[in-house]
Amino acid sequence: MHLFHAHLTLDQGITEEEVPRGWKSTKIFLKAKDRLQVDSMLTKHYCIGVKVNHVVDILRDAVNTSESLLLHKVIRTKIEQDSGFSKPITPQHYVEAMYCV
C-alpha cells in the first residue's frame, strides 16, 4: 500500500462547519520579500494500492468534494505520494491538476 494526499486550494477561507467529512482545513502562509500570501486548503490522506485506477479514485473524490463546496471555489487540486521526506518528490509521485467549474 502507498500513502497519498490530496490538497484543494480554495479561493477563500472556510469555517470548520463547512469542512467536508474526512478532510482537514489548513492555512498556508507564504512570505515573499514584500508581501504575504495566505492560502486556504483542504487536505485528505489516502492509503491505496499502486494501480493507476486507485489514483483516479483520489482525483474523483477530490472533484466530488470540490463540487460539494457550495460557497467556495477550488482554484487548484494537487495529489502527491507521501515520501516521508526521505526522498525527493519526482514527477511519477506528483500530479497537479486545475479543475474549473
Looking up cell 485528505 gives 44
What is the pLDDT, as a whole number, of residue 5? 82
Looking up cell 498556508 gives 28
Mean pLDDT of residues grouped by 10 in the chain (101 residues)? 82 89 90 88 82 73 82 82 60 57 46
What is the pLDDT, as a whole number, of residue 101? 46
Count the neighbouring beta carbons within 10 Å of the beta carbon of residue 42.
Answer: 25
Per-domain residue ranges for the chain? Answer: 2-97
Among residues 86, 94, 41, which one has the least CA distance to residue 66? 41
What is the pLDDT, as a whole number, of residue 25? 93
HSE (side-chain half, CA atoms, 13 Å) at 47: 1
pTM of structure: 0.72
Q: How far apart are CA 18 and CA 72, in angstroms?
A: 10
- Name the H helices within the chain: 52-68
Whether 21 contacts 61, CB under 8 Å: no
